[in-house]
């Protein structure tokens, strides 16, 4: 039996910078998870993934389980929560900007 669909976001890595990016409701790429589009229908999520996968600006696009949070989508799995913070080396990427 197939598992029931859970809400998803589309994520990938920016081809040139390697940053983790997310597909927004406007079909643009954003670097903050809170700005990502949350898809509650399987066909819609798969359609947006297909759209994102054709973009030459990104690599490795895939769907991620997420839930609606106070400030936008929140990942369900630890891996995605860790990915959104940027490199684990504090001298690079998103963490260096803080």
- What pLDDT, in 10s, does the model give residues 5-31? 899 999 999 988 888 999 999 999 999
pLDDT digits (tens, 9 = 90+) for 44-93: 999 999 999 998 889 999 999 999 999 999 888 877 866 777 665 556 55
Task: Find the length of the chain.
Answer: 98
What does each C-alpha distance from 86 to 4, 7, 12, 19, 37 come to in angstroms? 30, 23, 13, 7, 19
Residue 2 located in a structural domain: no
pLDDT on residue 86: 66
Residue 18 located in a structural domain: yes
**Interior angle at CA 43, CA 65 and CA 11, nearest 5:** 40
> Which residues lie across from 16 on neighbouring strands?
none
pLDDT on residue 98: 57
Tell me if residue 19 falls in helix, strand or coil. Answer: coil
Parent domain of 40: 8-97
Q: How many domains does the chain have?
A: 1
> Which residues lie across from 11 on neighbouring strands?
22, 62
Position 96 confidence tier, pLDDT thresholds 50, 70, 90:
low
């Amino acid at each position: 039996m197939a598992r029931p669909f859970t809400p998803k976001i589309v994520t990938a890595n920016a081809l040139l910078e390697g940053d983790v990016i997310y597909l927004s409701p406007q079909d643009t790429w954003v670097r903050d998870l809170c700005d990502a589009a949350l898809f509650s229908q399987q066909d819609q999520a798969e359609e947006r993934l297909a759209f994102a996968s054709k973009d030459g600006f990104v690599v490795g696009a895939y769907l991620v389980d997420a839930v609606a949070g106070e400030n936008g989508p929140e990942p369900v799995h630890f891996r995605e929560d860790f990915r959104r913070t940027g490199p684990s080396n504090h001298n690079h990427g998103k963490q260096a900007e803080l």
